[in-house]
Amino acid sequence: MPHSAEDKKRVITRLRRIKGQTEALERAVDAGSSCNDLLQQLAALRGATNGLMAEVLDSHLRETFLRQDGAAQKGLLTPDEEIDQLMKIIRSYLK
């Protein structure tokens, strides 16, 4: 999860763009747009979603592996457990 105000703003901007693309796709389907137009919009939506995934993943990795706050003492996961958990999420995303 992005924690700085700048990171949150960037993620929210991406989410709003995805929301707009999703709404445009819904309107296109309702209007009976061609398959080519729908496929192009789906590709743009997928690109936006991938960009959001990369943004959140980057933030998470930096927070998890670069933190200097004694996270192990706070009962958080070990680095190996963090990696296992993250890989499970990434694998489900890539399916």
Question: Can you give the residue ranges of every domain in the chain?
Answer: 5-94
Task: At 34, list the tokens.
Answer: 């061609």
| 5-94: CATH class | mainly alpha
Confidence of residue 73 (pLDDT cuts 50, 70, 90): very low
Query: What is the tens place of the pLDDT at every residue in 55-72?
Result: 888 888 887 777 655 454
Q: Which residues contact 8 (CB under 8 A, 6 or more apart)?
A: 2
DSSP string covering 49-75: HHHHHHHHHHHHHHHHHH--S-GGGGT
Query: What is the tens place of the pLDDT at every residue in 5-47?
Result: 888 898 999 999 999 999 999 999 999 999 999 999 999 999 9
For residue 13, give Cα distances in angstroms to 20, 21, 39, 50, 88: 11, 12, 23, 14, 27
Confidence of residue 75 (pLDDT cuts 50, 70, 90): low
The pLDDT score that the predictor gives to residue 34 is 96
**Taken in order 61, 66, 72, 78, is the CA torsion positive or negative?**
positive
pTM: 0.74
